[in-house]
Structure 1
Amino acid sequence: MSAKSALNKAVFLPNDERMLAAVQVKRRTKKKIPFLATGGQGEYTTFICLSVTNKKPAQVFLTKVKQFEGSSSFIRRSQWNISQLRQVNGVDAIKDCPEFDLVFDSGSDQWTAGSAGEKCVFVQILHHTCQRFIPERKVEFVNCPPKLLGGNSSLLHGAADSVSSAVQKASQALNERGERLGRAEEKTSDMMNSAQHFADTAHKLAMKHKC
């Protein structure tokens, strides 16, 4: 099971939520630690997760989750309702990069994703989710490549279309492969029959000359 699948199973499913997206991140700016703070729990991995409740009316959350080194468990750290989100800053509108910022009513965080690809997928899903669940509340997406913000279709419809397209392509590929295998089997069968016929004829000729 992947880390994100385990994360969804451990953190969101028990709370009657489903995770829409998650991205592994590191802070670009160090967080101020109180002078009297003593030690931590060691190294950890941080995830920013986007989830939606199954109960109606649906609520969407952004949640910061940590997993400490050597532990299989996940710990919720902070959670924001998506209505508290003010701005998503993609840092560079021209080329893909792993950096992005999230600005909320109460503050902001600057993150670096594990890769530019992970960040792009997360921002794209977050954009579609904002359009679907809070269309009346304009969340500002700045410095994001246009490809991440294209289209106004809902996340669920978009996902359904993608899955449907993938299934159709896979089915077509399997059918074509089956046809090729069928033709190959026919050729193999014809060759085997021809070889057997040749062997029988050769055997009869050999017996005839032997006699």
Structure 2
Amino acid sequence: MTAIKHALQRDIFTPNDERLLSIVNVCKAGKKKKNCFLCATVTTERPVQVKVVKVKKSDKGDFYKRQIAWALRDLAVVDAKDAVKENPEFDLHFEKIYKWVASSTAEKNAFISCIWKLNQRYLRKKIDFVNVSSQLLEESVPSGENQSVTGGDEEVVDEYQELNAREEQDIEIMMEGCECAISNAEAFAEKLSRELQVLDGANIQSIMASEKQVNILMKLLDEALKEVDQIELKLSSYEEMLQSVKEQMNQISESNHLIHLSNTNNVKLLSEIEFLVNHMDLAKGHIKALQEGDLASSRGIEACTNAADALLQCMNVALRPGMFIGDDKM
């Protein structure tokens, strides 16, 4: 099954930016046996799309082709048929009911466990699980080569990661250097475990050796934070000074406006006074003729008449808007 998963991931899902999480070999219930694979996949880009994909081996060659894909959000019910006894049959309720028979109960359980965890993670328990044991829904169920999603309800772990050419070459070299890699897998795993422990020890020693540099770095960071605090204090004081200068500038601007307004009013007042003086000034001769006029002689009468005319002109001067002189001031 591992080889099949590797081939499906490489040929079908990697080109579509999808990751294969679980697979089950099935055939349709009650019909002539034509095997296919149901695959649980997620997209590698966000937003994550979860799908159940039906894949079938081509009749014309040794390759697989994608037949149909259902969005997991469209799955309403998963019916495992029997929660107590082992039974390879199960139903998936999409727009219609699809009845399947798995090649083994273990593969079926692993696939249903994967669907349950994807439901917990992405659909917030939208799917109903019927005739499924509670233990299967509460625990991660590995089944030999067919691993489902592990890590509980919080995170879906990327189970499959395709090896690149460099990693495949390194594995081949490592297996060639160990005679028991193929004949005795346990001895090979034990050897890898010992080497891993040696590497872990080297990493710990390296971390301990770098502790001094870490302390120096922390000290520098503390000093930098102190400098930042001082800079913030200076900036605050500068801000207060700028605020004070701004207030003073506003006061000066207001004072300048008042001075300009006062000068303008003085100029207008002076202009009005000059106008009144020039147009309402009565000559001393006219004043004397009016006060001491001799109405018995023709010359005196003429002088009084001229003075009266001059006085009348002064009284009839048209004042500018805003100016008013009462009769008692004349």
Which interval holds the TM-score relative to the shorter structure?
0.5 to 0.7
Answer yes or no: is the 8 Å Cα contact 1:90–1:144 preserved in 2: yes
- Quickly say closer, same or farther: Cα 1:155–1:69, change in 2 above 3 A: farther
- 1:128 is matched with 117
- 1:26 is matched with 27
- Displacement, 1:144? 0.9
Alignment of 1:139-154 (within 5 A): 139-150=127-138, 153-154=153-154
Give the TM-score taking structure 2 as reference length: 0.43
2:109 counterpart letter in structure 1? C
Larger RCO, structure (CA 8 Å, separation 6 or more) = 1
How many Å separate the matches in 2 of 1:115 and 1:90? 13
Percent same amino acid among aligned pairs? 34
Match of residue 90, structure 1, among 80, 86, 94: 80
Q: What is the RMSD computed on CA atoms of the aligned residues?
A: 2.8
The answer to which structure has the higher strand fraction is 1
- 2:39 is matched with 49
How many Å separate the matches in 1 of 2:117 and 2:155? 5
SS at match of 1:153: coil
- Displacement, 1:122? 0.6
The answer to which structure has the higher helix fraction is 2
- Quickly say closer, same or farther: Cα 1:139–1:172, change in 2 above 3 A: farther
How many Å separate the matches in 1 of 2:3 and 2:54? 18
- Displacement, 1:97? 1.9
Match of residue 93, structure 2, among 103, 112, 121: 103
Q: Tell me, which stretches of 5 or more residues in structure 2 are unaligned?
A: 140-151, 160-188, 198-330
1:114 counterpart letter in structure 2? S
How many Å separate the matches in 2 of 1:15 and 1:49? 14
- 2:102 is matched with 113
Larger Rg: 2
State the Cα deviation string for residues 160-204 of structure 1 (Å, max 9, x = none).
xxxxxxxxxx779945xx9xxxxxxxxxxxxxxxxxxxxxxxxxx
Answer yes or no: is the 8 Å Cα contact 1:102–1:110 preserved in 2: yes
- Displacement, 1:45? 3.2
1:143 counterpart letter in structure 2? N
Answer yes or no: is the 8 Å Cα contact 1:124–1:148 preserved in 2: yes
- Displacement, 1:73? 1.6
How many Å separate the matches in 2 of 1:158 and 1:6? 17
1:16 equivalent to 2:17? Answer yes
SS at match of 1:102: strand
Answer yes or no: is the 8 Å Cα contact 2:27–2:34 preserved in 1: no
Aligned length: 154
How many Å separate the matches in 2 of 1:115 and 1:78? 23
Answer yes or no: is the 8 Å Cα contact 1:61–1:80 preserved in 2: yes
Q: Tell me, which stretches of 5 or more residues in structure 1 are unaligned?
A: 32-42, 160-169, 179-211
